[in-house]
């Protein structure tokens, strides 16, 4: 099992640019989660999907953030336009059976200058 | 509201010492799940354990043990005979309903020196 795969591992961009983060969940998992980690706020849930449908997006900071899950094997998190305060590590996680633990990807470290 | 509190921000110990990481949670649900994750310096989040609210048995896995007490809403984690490789940030998390997202505590940074 390859685990949750995120790309890119690192992203450096300038303020105002569009950023797209990608995630491939573990095959067969039907729940997918996007978290953001910062020193100040710790690990925050941004959004999660069950069976490709967004269930809770209350953690999405503002309209600049959007997430999609077009199929069971792929999800994107887009920030447009990016701002320096978006700098963080973004984690994707997936889970399988109804009460199974979340398995996290290695994260994408985003730096917005 | 659901909440997880890890009051210890940082702990430093010397190798072979035992160390306990505290976790206190808040929830009004009768069914919930508790987790511990480890984040080593390399940055990935590693799942350690999951417990459901109906199972208060303590668990031991090698040098790791977990003490779940519903009466005090605590789910503490003890590392026996700590090693340098245990140095990491440890997160406690609550899942108030199966299939939903985890709510994480702020984490405890454990530093084990040789």
pLDDT at A1: 62
Contact residues of A toward B, CB < 8 A: 31, 33, 42-43, 45, 48, 50, 55-56, 89, 91, 93, 95, 98-99, 101-107, 109
* pLDDT tens track for B73-114: 999 999 999 999 999 999 999 998 777 889 999 999 999 999
Instruction: Give contacts of A103 with chain B, Cβ < 8 Å.
Output: 47
* pLDDT tens track for B48-78: 999 989 888 888 899 999 999 999 999 999 9
* pLDDT tens track for A16-52: 999 999 999 999 999 999 999 999 999 999 999 999 9
pLDDT at A51: 92
Instruction: Read off the pLDDT band of A98 (50, 70, 90).
Output: low
The mean predicted confidence, pLDDT, of chain B is 94
Query: Which positions ≥6 away from A87 have C-beta within 8 Å?
Result: A38, A110, A111, A112
Q: Left, alpha or beta for A85 (phi > 0: left; psi -120 to 50: alpha)?
A: alpha
* pLDDT tens track for B15-40: 999 999 999 999 998 889 999 999 99
3-state secondary structure of B114: coil
Closest CA to A80 of A64, A63, A68: A64
CA distance B110 to B43: 14
Contact B47, B27 (CB under 8 A): no
Instruction: Establish if B47 touches chain A: CB-CB under 8 angstroms.
Output: yes
* pLDDT tens track for A59-69: 998 899 999 99
How many CA atoms does the CB half-sphere of A9 hold within 13 Å? 4
Instruction: Establish if B50 touches chain A: CB-CB under 8 angstroms.
Output: yes
What phi and psi values does residue A86 have, to the nearest 5 degrees?
A: -80, -10
Give the angle subtended at the CA of A24 by the CAs of A22 and A27, to the nearest 5°: 170
Closest CA to B19 of B111, B94, B85, B114: B111
Query: Which positions ≥6 away from B8 have C-beta within 8 Å?
Result: B21, B22, B108
Instruction: Read off the pLDDT band of A87 (50, 70, 90).
Output: very high
Q: Which residue has the higher pLDDT, B58 or A108?
A: A108
CB atoms within 10 A of CB B19: 19
pLDDT at A61: 87
């Amino acid at each position: 099992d390859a685990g949750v795969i995120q790309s890119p591992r690192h992203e450096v961009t300038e303020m105002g640019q569009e950023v797209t983060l990608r995630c491939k969940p573990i095959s067969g998992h039907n729940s997918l989660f996007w978290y953001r980690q910062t020193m100040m706020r710790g690990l925050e849930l941004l959004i999660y999907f069950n069976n490709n449908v967004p269930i809770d997006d209350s953690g999405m900071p503002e309209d600049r953030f959007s997430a999609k899950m077009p199929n069971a094997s792929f999800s994107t998190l887009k920030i447009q336009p990016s701002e320096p305060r978006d700098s963080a590590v973004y984690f994707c996680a997936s889970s399988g059976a109804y009460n199974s633990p979340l398995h996290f990807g290695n994260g994408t470290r985003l730096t917005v200058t | 509201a659901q909440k997880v509190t890890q009051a210890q921000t940082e702990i430093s110990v010397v190798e072979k010492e035992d160390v306990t990481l505290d976790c206190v949670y808040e929830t009004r649900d009768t069914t919930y799940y508790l987790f511990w994750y480890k984040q080593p310096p390399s940055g990935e989040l590693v799942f350690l354990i999951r417990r459901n609210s109906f199972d208060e048995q303590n668990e031991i896995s090698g040098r790791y043990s977990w003490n779940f007490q519903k009466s005090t809403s605590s789910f503490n984690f003890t590392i026996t005979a700590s090693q340098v490789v245990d140095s990491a940030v440890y997160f406690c998390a609550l899942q108030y309903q199966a299939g939903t997202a985890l709510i994480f505590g702020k984490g405890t940074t454990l530093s084990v020196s040789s």
